[in-house]
Structure 1
Amino acid sequence: MSTNFFRIDEHKIEASHIRSFPRSTATTQEEVLHLAVKQYTPLRNTSPKPGDITIIAAHANGFPKELYEPLWDEMLKRCEQHGFGIRGIWIADVVHQGWSSVLNEDKLGNDPAWLDHSRDLLNMVNIFRDQMPRPIIGVGHSMGGCQLANLALLHPRLFETLILVDPVIQGKVSLIGNVGPAAASSRRRERWPSREEAAKSFAKSKFYQTWDPRVFDLWVKNGLRDMPTKLFPDAKAPEVTLTTTKHQEVMTFLRGNFAARPGDKEPSSADFTLSHPKLNRRTHPDMTPDADPQSPFYRGESTIVFNQLPMIRPSVFYVFGELSSLTDDAAVEDKMRLTGSGVNGSGGRAEGRVDSVMVKGAGHLIPMEKVEESADHISKWINKEMARYRDWERKTEEEWDGIHGRERSVMPQRFVDELNALSKPREKTSSKL
């Protein structure tokens, strides 16, 4: 239980200004949304030392941030065994899910955007910067993996390394990986007579039977909220409903891209533009401008990040699930080949900065199904990367320590010499007639 290992502090902060889509908010486009943040401080490390790691985490679609607490418990044990400390772990529910969605209940629209959370997390880092010295590590699951990869693109030097657990980063929306779960979630039950009855119902479902019991208990506690709510104003205690509404969950899986029909008020990519007759850049600016855009649904964020994988600067460790619908040989190889391989990248697989592991017998929900094995793989990778981090820090400090006073703020002599050599007038040679 996390309270046995961590002091847990809760924070409410403002989300970043201006959301990706006009309909992300139900009120005005300038509406202020909020994040529910949890900060986990190890009870045995309340006075952290330089070099202790800060972890920023991001959750999967439809799964509240608290479900990862057993993973933090197991990681803490292993990090202590490896000899490095955890300063703190920070995670926030995206604005339209979990306890953040409760804070924003009267403000949420029907067009959520994944990459808003990347900017929200950067805002969180800036707010709590005094508690987040380097090194900072990212751990993201599913949608959260995509969001942290995007954050690394926004701020290339923020993370020393990223651990991306079965991230949704792909060239196109997967019919199996996105449409199937979205359709299932759209039909899911939304209310139960009590939390106890809901727990009994969940326990009968094969979906939850593969979960670690600790994760299941946290789902019953945080995946449900007491009634009444905005969606069910007439309900009465002890009834409960989903904390993340099925509507917000499904609209996070897929974004509509419907063929235009006369009289429709839903955004459509079929509006004519001079550059592409099938792409409406006002409503669908994040769609890949193919000759045949994905319809009736797409999800642009995973494709945007996929196309920028070569520019990821921190090292990356992928944790794939053997039974996941997102895992196939071609998809895995694409990520391994591309990540960090381009301009501003880490050097990628060729320089040992990208690696992966395949978790046997696990589906997409690896942190829920294989908590201890996940912690094993993640802590070993962090230990390796922290050895590199310490080596690079030592070299950087040694180089800088040799320079003092005003010399740290002016052009080095080598800089001046090289500049003068390039700008020195060339001697004219006499021409022969």
Structure 2
Amino acid sequence: MSTDKNSSCFHIKTHITRTQHSRSRYAGTSPNQENNLKLCVKQYTPKNNPNPQDGDVTIIGAVADSYPKEIYEPMWEHLVKELERKGKKIRSLWVADPFNQGESGVLNEKVLGPDPSWFDHGRDLMFVINQFQDEMPHPIVGIGHSMGASHLAHLALLHPRLMHALVIIDPVFQLQGGGQTWARASTFRRDHWPSRKIAEEKLSANPGLKSWDPVVLKKFLEFGLRDCPTEMYPEVPSKGDVPVTLQSTVAQEVYNYIEPTYHDPRLLVPKHLEGREFHPDDVAKASGANFMRAEMAILWRRLEELQPSVMYIFGNTSTVSGEEARKAKIERTGRGVGGNGGVDTDMVKEVVLSCGHLVPLEMPKDTAVSCAEFVDAEVARWVDEETERRVIWNGLSREGQVGLNDLWKEKIGGPAKKPAKEKSETKL
């Protein structure tokens, strides 16, 4: 564990942990290396809350594909301030780079494979929470963006009561489409520069980053670049400037966007499992597409099972959150068996901001304001419900708490009646 003091808002600790046992897919790592993975986790403790109290919220953050976790810090700082205005405080905020990206990806670069799964990080987050559970009491709220929203949705399906509420920011839950356009662009994108200065100049002039908040862009330039040599770029000049590359490799970025539907021997999939994770209807609609993303459709189909209350934050110009797509997600979420009841029970809400898919990177303050309004209400609901639970529980004797009570005995139907003994006939 190390401590980073470079924040006006947080005390920051960095933890290096192990990951969950096994990856979802055989080629998520090199063979026999999937239990040698590390996860880089940052714990942000607000400086305005040195003595946390019962009811202070624990936040689990999850980030989009290929971006370092640190570029979300501007949003977290705004969130602390907005909640403080409402009389609420954050106990601590935890964010981990997925095993194949950011600082985690650097730690694991020698053993990474070509077939990561979105479901790996949800399990890894569960493992992290188990390790630090003494520092993560309820209420717990998850806030995830893009692929990170999928990670938290999966975590909520794994353990429905773990998180009290979810903020899902411009998620990619859908049956078709998704990341192929992004993956194609990234496949041929520049990711190596002769010096950090040149990289910063080129990236700052990139039209795709012009819409970002300036503080977010500054964080990206600080944390999103990595000095060479790396595994992908082992050669460096003996003199002069040190070349740099992206902290998260382009390969791992595009492997997260999409996965092949064609046979690729290096994926190491047993023949009887090839293609089995793709729903037949999705394959038929894809019309022979070379790539899909199975988890995207799996999570769409299971949205109705989400139990935590949910607030969606969409970008109104996002290519994955058009009006019909937004409506479909809202109407589906929580309505099924085990779900929260859906929009009809006021357990699913929606905010639409004037931006694209990269909502918290373009509008960190506005995103934080929306998050704070939801978290404020959800923490108040948790306090009310928890108070009621404790009143009921504490009003019972120990026998009344754990014994078979009268209501149970009544509902089960009382003691079973003994069958009448048959009278034997006397033969003369």
TM-score in same-fold range (> 0.5): yes
CA distance in 1, matches of 2:349, 2:191: 40
Shift of 1:422: 8.3
In structure 2, runs of 5+ residues without a counterpart are 421-428
Could you say if the C-alpha distance between residues 113 and 293 of structure 1 is closer, same or farther in structure 2, counting changes exceeding 3 Å?
A: farther
CA distance in 2, matches of 1:357, 1:72: 18
Which aligned pairs between 1:272-421 and structure 2 lie closer than 5 A?
Answer: 282-290=273-281, 292=284, 294=286, 295-360=289-354, 362-421=355-414
Q: Is the 8 A contact 1:11 1:38 kept in 2?
A: yes
- Secondary structure at the counterpart of residue 46 of structure 1: coil
**Paired residue for 2:423?**
none
Q: Which amino acid aligns with 2:73?
A: E
Q: Is the 8 A contact 1:25 1:31 kept in 2?
A: no
Shift of 1:266: 5.2
CA distance in 2, matches of 1:379, 1:62: 26
Q: Is the 8 A contact 1:71 1:372 kept in 2?
A: yes
Shift of 1:421: 3.7
CA distance in 2, matches of 1:359, 1:2: 30
Cα displacement string for residues 164-185 of structure 1 (whole angstroms, at most 9, x for unaligned residues): 000111112x1xx411111111
- Secondary structure at the counterpart of residue 115 of structure 1: helix
**Paired residue for 2:159?**
155
Q: Is the 8 A contact 2:33 2:111 kept in 1?
A: no
CA distance in 1, matches of 2:391, 2:268: 57
- Secondary structure at the counterpart of residue 385 of structure 1: helix
Work out whether 1:90 is the aligned partner of 2:81. Answer: no
Could you say if the C-alpha distance between residues 267 and 196 of structure 1 is closer, same or farther in structure 2, counting changes exceeding 3 Å?
A: closer
Identity %: 38
Cα displacement string for residues 67-105 of structure 1 (whole angstroms, at most 9, x for unaligned residues): 100000000000000111100000000000000001001
- Secondary structure at the counterpart of residue 36 of structure 1: strand
CA distance in 2, matches of 1:30, 1:202: 34
Could you say if the C-alpha distance between residues 425 and 339 of structure 1 is closer, same or farther in structure 2, counting changes exceeding 3 Å?
A: farther
Q: Which amino acid aligns with 1:99?
A: E
Shift of 1:194: 1.7
CA distance in 2, matches of 1:59, 1:332: 20
CA distance in 1, matches of 2:372, 2:255: 34
Shift of 1:328: 1.5
CA distance in 2, matches of 1:313, 1:419: 29
- Secondary structure at the counterpart of residue 35 of structure 1: strand
**Paired residue for 1:138?**
142
Q: Which amino acid aligns with 1:196?
A: K
Q: Is the 8 A contact 1:53 1:137 kept in 2?
A: yes
CA distance in 2, matches of 1:250, 1:213: 26
Could you say if the C-alpha distance between residues 35 and 18 of structure 1 is closer, same or farther in structure 2, counting changes exceeding 3 Å?
A: same
Shift of 1:389: 1.2
Cα displacement string for residues 210-261 of structure 1 (whole angstroms, at most 9, x for unaligned residues): 1111111111111111111111111255211111010110111110112x5x
Instruction: Give the TM-score of the pair, scaled to structure 1.
Output: 0.91
Q: Is the 8 A contact 2:313 2:353 kept in 1?
A: yes
Superposed CA RMSD in Å reads 2.0
In structure 1, runs of 5+ residues without a counterpart are 272-279, 428-433
Q: Is the 8 A contact 1:17 1:32 kept in 2?
A: no
Cα displacement string for residues 99-124 of structure 1 (whole angstroms, at most 9, x for unaligned residues): 00010011100111111100000000
**Greater shift after overlay, 113-122 or 236-245?**
236-245
Cα displacement string for residues 122-162 of structure 1 (whole angstroms, at most 9, x for unaligned residues): 00000000000000000000000011011100000011110
Instruction: Give the TM-score of the pair, scaled to structure 2.
Output: 0.92
Q: Is the 8 A contact 1:37 1:91 kept in 2?
A: yes
CA distance in 1, matches of 2:23, 2:268: 19
- Secondary structure at the counterpart of residue 90 of structure 1: strand
- Secondary structure at the counterpart of residue 43 of structure 2: strand
Shift of 1:407: 3.1
CA distance in 2, matches of 1:13, 1:70: 25
